[in-house]
Amino acid sequence: MSEAVSGNPAASIDAERIAKFSVVTVGENGALDRIIEKPDEQLIASLGSGVFVGMNSWSLPPEIYDACRSIAPSMRGELELPDAVMYARDELDVPFRVLTFHDGVLDLSSRGDIASVAERLRGVEPRL
C-alpha cells in the first residue's frame, strides 16, 4: 500500500489558512478517502476535528505513472499530483494509507511566514 502523509493543523494553522491548502479525509484502517484542494470554510467546519492538512509527502507505486498520463490539467493548467493520486485510487484501485501526525506544522507558504518560523526555530539545533 502506498502512503500519503498528513498533519493535523489544529495547533498551528487557523481555519482561514487551512482553506489555502488541501485537506485529507481518512477512511477505515487509515486508508485515503479523499484529497480536497482548497476547501471552503463550510467544508472545513463539516469535517470537525478530523481535518488533516495534506503535507504532500508520498511513497508512490508504479501505477502513478499511468494515473499521471490519464489526468487532465487543473484549472491552473498544471498536472496535479493529488489528482493523479485520486485517479489511481478511484480508477485503478490503488490503495493509499495515510500516516497522520498530531504535531504542529511550521507553515512557510509565503514570505510573510519566514519571521514567525525563524522565531519558532530560534535556539533549535539541527540534528542530521
Would you list the DSSP string of 41-55?
A: HHHHHHHGGG-EEEE
User: Does 36 fall in a domain?
Assistant: yes
- pLDDT for 67: 97
- pLDDT for 13: 62
User: Does 50 fall in a domain?
Assistant: yes
- pLDDT for 86: 96
User: Does 127 fall in a domain?
Assistant: no
Where the chain has pLDDT below 70, the residues are 1-15, 50-51
Instruction: Give the tens place of pLDDT for each residue, 80-116.
Output: 999 999 999 999 999 999 988 777 777 787 899 899 8
Residue whose cell numbers read 499511468: 66
Residue 31 contacts residue 96 (beta carbons within 8 Å) = yes
User: Does 76 fall in a domain?
Assistant: no
If one counts the domains in the chain, the total is 1
Provide the residue range defining the domain that includes 95: 2-60+89-121
User: Does 24 fall in a domain?
Assistant: yes
